[in-house]
Amino acid sequence: MEKHWIGGKYVRGAKGDLFTTVSPAHDTTIGNYALGSEQDVHTAVQSARTAFDSGPWPHMSGQERAQVLCATADLIHIHCEELARLETLESGKPITQAKAEMETAADLWRYAATLARHTVGEAYNSLGENKLGLVLREPAGVAGLITPWNFPLLIISQKLPFALAVGCTAVIKPSELTPGTTLKLAALAHEAGVPPGVINVVTGFGNPVGACIAEHEDIDVISFTGSTAVGRRVAAAAGRNLKRCSLELGGKNPHIIFADADLDAALDPVVFGVYFNMGECCNSGSRLLLQESIAEEFTARVLELARTVPVGDPLAEDTKVGAIINEPQLAKINEYVQSGKDLGARLRTGGRQIPTLNGRFFEPTVFDGVTPQMPIAKEEIFGPVLSILTFRTLDEAIQIANDTIYGLSAGLWTSNVDTAFEVSRRVRAGTIWINCFMEGHAELPFGGYRDSGLGRELGRFSTDEFTELKTVQLHIGEQRSSWL
């Protein structure tokens, strides 16, 4: 697939250059893609701009747009196996997980379709006998969508259908490591009835493609998912021409287990929460906070279960942890593991790359004896590394949970309803899970506090990112002026 998707068709890049994606698990070339340039971005933006300014999409009824979004969801479902295999090969995630993500993505498109018919404004008839006020919600225009490599189809499906639901058009830059499923999604949406120019995909690297999208004057809103460091640069670029910017960034999420919790119920979610998607997940429960009285017992159970997690070829149906995305990410994980050891944390299991002929695989890793100021307790590792800390009181647990620059999500386990709601209110994070972890629903907003980002995806509030409010005031009946 050596072309961009612009104006409803595959288009060669202006310079004709290509780059390749390589399987993290097999070290084989998966695809050749167009190496995007600033000219390619300009072409894509002009396509989206024309589709918004003079095309039919913004003027279609909500019912008509909803039908197209539902048809896209049906095609994602039909092509689930193909999409999942491509995503597994490019990202290294387990095939069973990838299949589940395709179905979740389809569900997001179906939910967004409901918002196409329920994105409404307000009317005010209390302004006076002869006055009426209307608040209209209109599409913001062209949306620039920049997505990461860890959940390629799922994350674009947290953005694109919601932008389309309200009548926006889009220019998309997928990660250069995993562009395949996004290109296929654009073609499927076109087949479902999305008009030419409404969806445009430019493949390539952050510089120049992502940077050009972020600062382009004809793009009205940016939605970015990725690291906090890059998110700051995207926000700065967007700020230079005051375009709206929503950011879903990093996390260092606490998973808090109180002594009165159902430990049997908590065990599997704790292990799942840190090793899911190889730990390459902004919601990873990479900080486990245990109340002191149950710390030794529960740590032993976590270690026992962690040592049984199947790591290996992501195409195998029984694999739970696949391959690390690339060498720089593997080096980052190794550096954090070494840091933990150097600073006195106890490495209880894992901590090494698994020797294989091909690919990059890392052992599920557990540290205990971790203190809150250690980098492995405060910084996002993005790998299968769990840091265990202990606390005595509820107040201490909350203090440790909040002692980070992030605020994306948190989980807690307790049988005390007062504890559950006090922690939920005091922990500064966008999502709180009580007696569960990393569950998601299309109806519920997702996003973070502080350095975890700005704005919210999913739920009915998600369309706020892609709409503008317009006030209309109407005078009814005879007009009398009293100024002069």
Burial of 67 (0-12, 13-18, 19+ CB in 10 A): middle
* pLDDT confidence of residue 234: 96
CATH H-level, domain 254-434: superfamily: Aldehyde Dehydrogenase; Chain A, domain 2 (3.40.309.10)
> Model pTM?
0.96
pLDDT tens sequence across 311-361: 999 999 999 999 999 999 999 999 999 999 999 999 999 999 999 999 999
**Separate counts of helices (H) and strands (E) for the chain:** 15, 24
* pLDDT confidence of residue 1: 67
Q: Can 2 be counted among the known catalytic residues?
A: no
Q: Can 245 be counted among the known catalytic residues?
A: no
Amino acid at 141: G
From 70, 80, 168, 282, active-site residue: 282
Name the more confident of 136 and 2. 136
pLDDT tens sequence across 154-189: 999 999 999 999 999 999 999 999 999 999 999 999
In terms of C-beta distances under 8 Å and separation of at least 24 residues, what long-range contacts does 416-419 make, across chains too?
416/258, 416/260, 419/258, 419/260, 419/394
In the block, tokens 């922990």 appear at: 427
Output b/e per residue, 450-467; b: 16+ Cβ within 10 A.
bbbbbbbbbbeebbbbbb
pLDDT tens sequence across 375-427: 999 999 999 999 999 999 999 999 999 999 999 999 999 999 999 999 999 99
**How far apart are the C-alpha atoms of 4 and 202, rounded to whole Å?**
5
CATH hierarchy code of domain 4-249+452-471: 3.40.605.10
- The three-state secondary structure class of 214 is helix
Of 468, 472, 471, give the one whose Cα is nearest residue 139: 468
- The three-state secondary structure class of 161 is helix
Q: What is the DSSP string of 372-411?
A: TTSHHHHS---SSEEEEEEESSHHHHHHHHH-SSEESEEE
From 248, 280, 363, 465, active-site residue: 248
pLDDT tens sequence across 220-260: 999 999 999 999 999 999 999 899 999 999 999 999 999 99
Sheet of 409-413: strand order equals 346-349, 365-368, 385-391, 287-291, 254-257, 409-413, 431-434
CA atoms within 13 A on the CB side of 183: 24
Domain boundaries, the chain: 4-249+452-471, 254-434
| pLDDT, average across residues 430-457 | 96
Please, which residues bridge with residue 132 across strands?
474
* pLDDT confidence of residue 129: 87
**How far apart are the C-alpha atoms of 184 and 245, rounded to whole Å?**
26
The pLDDT confidence band at residue 287, using thresholds 50, 70 and 90, is: very high
* pLDDT confidence of residue 478: 81
**How far apart are the C-alpha atoms of 143 and 384, rounded to whole Å?**
34
User: Do 353 and 362 form a contact (C-beta atoms < 8 A)?
Assistant: yes
